[in-house]
Copies of this chain bind each other. A is one copy, B any other.
Amino acid sequence: MDHSAQQHAGRSHEKMREVLMHPDAPGPAIHYHMIRGGSGARNITVWQPGTVGAEYIKTYGHYHVGALDEVYWTLQGEGVAIIQKRAEGADGPIDDEIEDAYAVHVRPGDALYMPPGWGHLVVNVGPTFFVTADDSPVDFGESDGVSLPGHADYEPVRRMRGFAYYVVDEAGKPRLVPNPLYRRAPDIRIIAAADYPLKRES
């Protein structure tokens, strides 16, 4: 029996301030918990309910590196996933130009596909903990593989202070607010999981 695999990390308010719409608003000490089992045991993520300066609690968000894709299964609660793809320039992706994007309302039973190269984050828009499982591999040999795995690129998200859209609470309903640092992004609305078109190619 291999007992090495389980590891826990919490994402702190201090770290999340880099990507918040209102970095100076008060927030919980830990925004979300990650319990990493790798693709076999699946990874579990648990989001705190609530808002920080009207913005719903969210994951930091990252871009996948290389051919890596991922599926997120919603286990409990109500979330909005933001999935975005950067335009490609001569020197690689252009961080402030978003070519394609989706905002998808997810509930228990929904499985959401995150394609290679796309960025993604998930927001807890419900009153309870939001809980997902995902099949992302985690390399425990890395220096900080649990908290910031190396297959994911967080740097463009930090530079842009978040994704192209923030998800804010407006009278109890989620609403998208554009991040003004992006020069270009498609005009999107929140859609149902059934209307999300991206799927793993078989």
Contacts of A3 in B (CB 8 A): 26-29, 48, 50
- Asked if residues B33 and A1 are in contact (CB atoms below 8 Å), the reply is no
Given A50-B2, A75-B75, does the pair A129, B28 have CB atoms closer than 8 Å? no
Asked, given contacts A42-B128, A127-B41, whether A6 binds B30 with beta carbons under 8 Å apart, the answer is yes
Give the residues in chain B near A35, CB-CB below 8 Å.
33, 46, 129
Q: Is A76 an interface residue (CB 8 A)?
A: yes
Tell me the smallest distance from the CB of A136 to a CB of chain B, in Å.
13
A170 to chain B, nearest CB (A): 15
**Nearest B residue (CB) for A28:** B3
A8 CB within 8 Å of chain B = yes
Contacts of A10 in B (CB 8 A): 8
Band of interface residues on A: 35 or more
Q: Is the CB of A41 within 8 A of B129?
A: yes
Closest chain B CB from A12 CB (angstroms):
12
CA distance A64 to B101 in the complex (A): 49
Q: Smallest Cβ distance from A4 to chain B, in angstroms? A: 8
A131 at the interface (CB under 8 A from B): yes
The smallest C-beta distance from A53 to any residue of chain B, in angstroms, reads: 9
Is A133 close to B, CB under 8 A? yes
Interface residues of A (CB under 8 A from B): 1-6, 8, 10, 26-30, 33, 35, 37, 40-42, 44, 46, 48-52, 73, 75-76, 108, 127-129, 131, 133
16 contacts between A and B (CB under 8 A): A1-B50, A3-B29, A3-B48, A6-B28, A8-B8, A33-B33, A33-B35, A35-B46, A41-B48, A41-B129, A42-B128, A44-B46, A46-B46, A75-B108, A76-B133, A131-B131
